[in-house]
Amino acid sequence: MSQLKIREMPQDERPREKLLARGVSALSDPELIAILLRTGLRGANAVEVGRQLLEKYKSLTGISRCSVKELRKIPGIGQTKALELVAAFGLGQRLARETLSKQKLDSPELVSELVGPEMRRLRTESLRVILLDTRYRLLHIEEVSLGSLNESIAHPREIFRPALTYSAHAVIVVHNHPSGDASPSQTDHSLTRRL
């Protein structure tokens, strides 16, 4: 563990000062996390706590999947810091969605950019409908089914009801595979046939 407190670091190596001087791209992931955390704990500065978070959860995506309760189990992270981390990841997801919501959603890649970051962090299957206007821009996203670790069950009427409510011109149906294996299940094939 790092014994050096951030205020004892050379000024050009401190995360906040580095951000001011060189911009966000100059900072490592642990340094960006440190700015959110503000303080560390005895024997580990905020950068070290950020590094430990990344080690434990393997990536920023892994951290983004954590609940406030899970984050609070990490030494140096209380409720306020956990809430700030969850809020920061939530803002990032909303920013991505906001940017894409004004574009024509005409490719699987754009749809993945729109809902992928949020859906990849889910631990249970979620089936959602993306409702589009006549220019194929986002009207609304609605979760129609929340399933188990490996299955989400929905009836076609649950999928088309929001489309009618929002007078959607087009509908895209998406769901995640929390296991990481994107191979379609029998349930996936069955729902696709029914739709």
The domains located in the chain, with CATH, are 6-94 (1.10.150), 103-194 (3.40.140.10)
Structure confidence at residue 177 (pLDDT): 85
The pLDDT tens digits for 31-87 are: 999 999 999 888 899 999 999 999 999 999 889 889 999 999 998 899 999 999 999
Catalogue the long-range contacts made by 101-108 (C-beta closer than 8 Å, 24 or more residues apart).
101/137, 101/138, 102/137, 102/138, 103/137, 104/135, 104/136, 104/137, 105/130, 105/132, 105/136, 105/137, 105/138, 105/172, 106/136
Question: In percent, how much of the chain has pLDDT > 90?
Answer: 54
For the segment 133-143, the average pLDDT, to the nearest whole number, is 94
For the segment 171-189, the average pLDDT, to the nearest whole number, is 86
The pLDDT tens digits for 110-120 are: 998 888 888 88
Q: CA-to-CA distance for 172 and 179, rounded, in angstroms?
A: 22
pLDDT at 1 over 50: no
Name the helix (H) or strand (E) containing 146. Answer: strand 138-146
pLDDT at 24 over 50: yes
pTM of this structure: 0.69
